[in-house]
Chains A and B, each alone.
Chain A
Amino acid sequence: MSLRPDLAAIAEMIPRGARVLDVGCGDGQLLEHLKITKNVDGRGLELSQHNVNVCVARGLSVIQGDADTDLHEYPSQVFDIVILSQTIQATYDPSKVLEHLLRIGKRTIVSLPNFGHWRVRLNLLFNGRMPQTQALGYSWHDTPNIHLCTIADFVALAKETGAIIESAQALDGKGRTRPMRPDAWGPNIFAEGAIFQLKPR
């Protein structure tokens, strides 16, 4: 089974046997991988009913629901790790969602596409149209990504939410990671995305 590279990078951050909640778990690729390789007690929340059905048929514990409206149902500090992978930019209220994640999990892992990437910047500068990239292949009017942000934007949000950034990794176009300083200017231009590990203050 070949795991999407950015998911593989997240998987490496998960300790064996952890209780994990994957918010926006898609078809359950990451959860299944974690269950098999790390023996985690995994749960998922997923918006698409079709994906949920695929997950349950795979033997995963997944609920159809919406990160924006359903996270308040989860009790506090019951999960070792909460994952939000490539989903925060599609939420209605990213700040509220992040607050809930920090409340529910002892650790929170967030991965996101970087809207500050140089290609995005040049695209807007020279074409004068809303940028479409490989990672963000939607036109402005039909995109589910209603709250795109740059790495620097997310770092600022994490600070506002009172999260401590424990680690940060830059993602390149092939999903390979390298450690980065959250406040460094380089990754905000050159990284396609980033993975943060956070904990509540």
Chain B
Amino acid sequence: MTFDTALALDAGRGLAPWKIAYMTYGTLNAERSNAVLICHALTGDQFAASDNPITGKPGWWLTMVGPGKPIDTDRFFVICTNVIGGCMGTSGPPDIDPATGKPYGLSFPLVTIRDMVRAQAALLDALGIEQLLCVTGGSMGGMQVLQWAASYPERVFSAMPMATAARHSAQNIAFHEVGRQAIMADPDWRGGAYQSEGTQPSKGLSVARMAAHITYLSEPALQRKFGRNLQNRAERSFQFAPDFQVESYLHHQGSTFVDRFDANSYLYITRAMDYFDLAADYGGVLAEAFRGTKTKFCIASFTSDWLFPTVENKRIAHALNAAGATVSFVEIVSDKGHDSFLLEEPELFATARGFLSSVAQSRGLA
């Protein structure tokens, strides 16, 4: 959907015209009360529950979303948008700047998590959806969920953030900076103008993805999956070609990523996550972000997630408690690391199903 009126951004600039790409699953009921918004993570997209047209791969949250799934598309109208700054159809750095006729590149304004949420709110206005039954998402998606609950409490009946934090930690900013520097160190990045110059910073983006991918897993999961196993060889090669399976695995993650993601988008979205500190907008007191909220919250974390560890998720639960909000918190035992929220985790599904059923009931949905 395209908007001619400017989208106000935290950076102090407006963006006009701008567009937002989204997918919907299920049917909106007559009362318009069964809408669930899914917010994607750093490298996610709007294809939560259907095949991605670029990669041909199934939706990234098929474990959670679909007919009869915890986010049941037989009952709920599910909306998933591509975030502002993204590269899957929503306005972002790879788009053509109408003012110059050239790709924005680094002239695209910096965006924040709050800008992403503002864009989604504008879409919902256009779709005539006043209130969401639930906003949910993991990781950066969870940040958007928290921002939704803080910015538009009356529009959020319930919120289910998972594997997330109310602020990006120093360690997480550090990892992002490694990724960004890898991209910018690639000579093909061309100061961000690679599109006009006909190059692709694939090496840099691939290294950024490889480094980031490690943070999404856990030491035990890597050990179990790969150990010290060698790839297609019986002996060490005494060269620097990938000897170990874990190396080939990372190379594969990196090389498939560059086919579907834009390097500048990666810079912008990691920056948005780094800037996120919800409490800072409320005098440094996180509970103030949720003062007087009627939204029902359910927060989930995973034991082996060291990128967004339980303690960060629990901080949110405690702040909500202090604000007198209705909140549940579960920590799910899993050794699969941060990516657990995307994987087959029966306890997560039971939690999500139970929570959504109970909020649907209190919203008057059968």
- A-to-B contact residues, CB < 8 Å: 41, 43, 49, 52-53, 55-65, 70, 73-75, 78
**Pairs A–B under 8 Å by Cβ, sample size 18:** A49-B333, A53-B347, A55-B328, A56-B328, A56-B354, A56-B355, A57-B351, A57-B353, A58-B358, A59-B361, A60-B328, A61-B296, A61-B326, A61-B328, A62-B329, A64-B331, A65-B329, A70-B318
Shortest distance in angstroms between A33's beta carbon and chain B's nearest beta carbon?
A: 15
Given the complex of chains A and B, what is the CA–CA distance between A60 and B351 in angstroms?
10
Query: Is B350 in contact with chain A by the CB < 8 A criterion?
Result: yes
Interface size on B (CB < 8 Å)? Answer: 25
B324 / chain A contacts, CB cutoff of 8 Å: 75, 78
Q: Report how many A-B pairs have Cβ atoms within 8 Å.
A: 59
Taking a contact as CB atoms under 8 Å apart, the answer to whether A59 and B322 are in contact is no
Partner pick for B317 among A57, A59, A63, CB 8 A cutoff: A63
- Please name the residue on chain A nearest to B333 by beta carbon: A49
Shortest distance in angstroms between A179's beta carbon and chain B's nearest beta carbon?
A: 34
- B-to-A contact residues, CB < 8 Å: 296, 298, 314, 317-318, 321-322, 324, 326-333, 347, 350-351, 353-355, 357-358, 361
Shortest distance in angstroms between B2's beta carbon and chain A's nearest beta carbon?
A: 40
A-B pairs, top 4 by smallest CB distance, nearest first, are A59-B358, A57-B354, A57-B350, A63-B329
Given contacts A49-B330, A74-B321, 15 further A-B contacts (CB under 8 A): A49-B331, A52-B329, A52-B330, A53-B330, A53-B347, A56-B328, A56-B355, A58-B354, A58-B358, A59-B357, A59-B361, A61-B296, A61-B326, A63-B328, A75-B324
Given the complex of chains A and B, what is the CA–CA distance between A49 and B296 in angstroms?
20
Given the complex of chains A and B, what is the CA–CA distance between A53 and B354 in angstroms?
10
Given the complex of chains A and B, what is the CA–CA distance between A99 and B317 in angstroms?
22
B331 / chain A contacts, CB cutoff of 8 Å: 49, 52, 64
Given the complex of chains A and B, what is the CA–CA distance between A60 and B328 in angstroms?
8
Listed residue (B328, B331, B332) with the most chain A CB atoms within 10 angstroms of its CB: B328
Taking a contact as CB atoms under 8 Å apart, the answer to whether A73 and B318 are in contact is yes
Given the complex of chains A and B, what is the CA–CA distance between A150 and B102 in angstroms?
81
Known: A43-B326, A52-B329, A56-B328. A63 touches B321 (CB 8 A): yes
Given the complex of chains A and B, what is the CA–CA distance between A61 and B326 in angstroms?
7
Taking a contact as CB atoms under 8 Å apart, the answer to whether B322 and A74 are in contact is yes
- Please name the residue on chain A nearest to B324 by beta carbon: A78
Taking a contact as CB atoms under 8 Å apart, the answer to whether A73 and B321 are in contact is yes
Known: A73-B318, A74-B321, A74-B322. A64 touches B330 (CB 8 A): yes
- Please name the residue on chain A nearest to B320 by beta carbon: A63
Given the complex of chains A and B, what is the CA–CA distance between A152 and B351 in angstroms?
42
Given the complex of chains A and B, what is the CA–CA distance between A64 and B316 in angstroms?
13
Known: A53-B347, A73-B318, A78-B324. A59 touches B355 (CB 8 A): yes
Shortest distance in angstroms between A134's beta carbon and chain B's nearest beta carbon?
A: 32
Given the complex of chains A and B, what is the CA–CA distance between A49 and B317 in angstroms?
15
Given the complex of chains A and B, what is the CA–CA distance between A78 and B326 in angstroms?
12
Given the complex of chains A and B, what is the CA–CA distance between A130 and B43 in angstroms?
60
B328 / chain A contacts, CB cutoff of 8 Å: 52, 55-56, 60-63
A63 / chain B contacts, CB cutoff of 8 Å: 317, 321, 327-329
Taking a contact as CB atoms under 8 Å apart, the answer to whether B329 and A64 are in contact is yes
B333 / chain A contacts, CB cutoff of 8 Å: 49
Shortest distance in angstroms between B91's beta carbon and chain A's nearest beta carbon?
A: 37
Given the complex of chains A and B, what is the CA–CA distance between A57 and B298 in angstroms?
11
- Please name the residue on chain A nearest to B299 by beta carbon: A63
A62 / chain B contacts, CB cutoff of 8 Å: 328-329
A58 / chain B contacts, CB cutoff of 8 Å: 354, 358
Listed residue (A53, A56, A63, A65) with the most chain B CB atoms within 10 angstroms of its CB: A56
A52 / chain B contacts, CB cutoff of 8 Å: 328-331
